[in-house]
Structure 1
Amino acid sequence: MGDEERAETAICSRRDCREAAVWALVWNNPKVHTPDRRKVWTACDEHRAYLTNFLELRGFLRETVPVDELEER
């Protein structure tokens, strides 16, 4: 993988994970963000459940989509 390709590849948001991300977890903290504001964490297959659980427990998760679909929006 070249430097350009690596720079374009989304990396998992889980601390210390350097795997390529497959999922985009779209979230919003209603206490901090306006209702239309969206933030994104990316996740590899291994850490999708962990990151999803973290966001769902706090009521932040809005949707989960494949990373390539997020980039098309």
Structure 2
Amino acid sequence: MTSPQCSRAGCRADAQWRVVWRNPRIHSADRRKVWTACPDHVGFLRDYLASRSFPVEVLALDTAPAS
């Protein structure tokens, strides 16, 4: 089985983080999307989503998201 790769465009590094988010204008509170991130891009992806006022949570890849 292959390791998840970073969701940042053009990055092929192994992911170590999950960036869990939703767009409250179009997603219900129980729907959350997940991007995976390498250590170099986790901050960029989190900040990109937070700048749009999306609820965002960063978790280690092996951690279950809060319900």
Q: TM (normalized to structure 2)?
A: 0.88
Whichever of the two has the greater Rg, that structure is 1
Identical counterparts, % of pairs: 43
Letter in 2 for 1:34: S
Whole-angstrom CA distance in 2 between matches of 1:21 and 1:37: 22
Structure 2 unmatched ranges of 5 or more: none
Structure 1 stretches of at least 4 aligned residues deviating more than 3 Å after TM superposition: none
Measured on the aligned residues, the alpha-carbon RMSD in Å equals 1.7
**Larger relative helix fraction:** 1
Shift of 1:60: 1.4
1:11 shift after superposition: 0.6
1:20 equivalenced with 2:14 (yes/no): yes
If the length of structure 1 is used for normalisation, what is the TM-score?
A: 0.81
Give the corresponding residue for 2:27.
33
Distance in structure 2 (CA, Å) of the matches to 1:61 and 1:54? 11
Matched AA of 2:64? L
